[in-house]
Amino acid sequence: MDESVNKAAEERIDKYCLIAGRFPQLTSEAVLDYLRAVNYFTAPSSFKVHGAWVGGNFDHSVKVMEHLLEFTKTEGLKWDREESLYIIGLFHDLCKSDQRGFKEKSSGGLKIVSLKPSDDRHSEKSIDLIEANIIKLTKQERECILYHMGEYGGGEDYKLQMAEAMAQDPNIAFVQKADTIAARAGI
């Protein structure tokens, strides 16, 4: 693959280790090997809109995490554990890592391509991948990831369940806000 992809991966791995370094469960060799294997550090976030570049999904996830840090300070958000906002921000879109990648164009440069068929279980797939490969989630973390897409995340049953969960935990709305702000900024 293009040398720029390898360079982007190494830069983002270093940044990830700086961000999550104080949480050993998030930076173990097994976790880092898994994240490398699924292209977490290089996958784009979307095909044309936000994060449509090498490492775009990681950049988007970091921005969501940064907004959650800000909201935690300004709004006094309470989390189940110190690393919750890092887990939610950094991994809410983990499912995109093995679905999108790059192919070299014959004319030079890179083109974003689908690596696998799209999965309608976007949030559920991220939850499954996190729990199978990174860390067991708390109920709060699971619900924040499950409902991070807000009204776009599913049908009527989903929306009713989301409203019930949001009534119990206002952090869900802040996760949605952080994700929307980052995406609308093009990240």
Give the mean pLDDT per block of 10 residues along the chain (187 residues): 84 98 97 97 87 93 98 98 98 90 78 76 91 98 94 86 95 97 92
CA distance 78 to 117: 37
How many other C-beta atoms lie within 10 A of the C-beta of residue 49?
11
Measured distance between the N- and C-terminal CA atoms of the chain, rounded to whole angstroms: 23
* Token duo for residue 92: 């809410």
Question: pLDDT by residue (tens digit) across 130-181?
Answer: 999 999 999 999 999 999 988 878 889 989 999 999 999 999 999 999 999 9
Backbone angles phi, psi at 111, to 5 degrees: -120, 135
pLDDT of residue 48: 81
CA distance 137 to 166: 18
> CB of 87 within 8 A of CB of 101?
no
> CB of 75 within 8 A of CB of 174?
yes
**Is the pTM above the cut of 0.95?**
no
* Token duo for residue 171: 């952090």
Listed in sequence order, the residues at least 6 apart from 137 whose beta carbon sits closer than 8 Å to its beta carbon are: 87, 127, 130, 131, 145
pLDDT of residue 11: 97
- Ramachandran region, residue 2 (left: φ > 0; alpha: ψ -120 to 50; beta: rest): beta
pLDDT of residue 119: 66
> CB of 122 within 8 A of CB of 95?
yes
Please give the DSSP secondary-structure letter assigned to residue 58: H
Cα 138 off chain centre by? 17
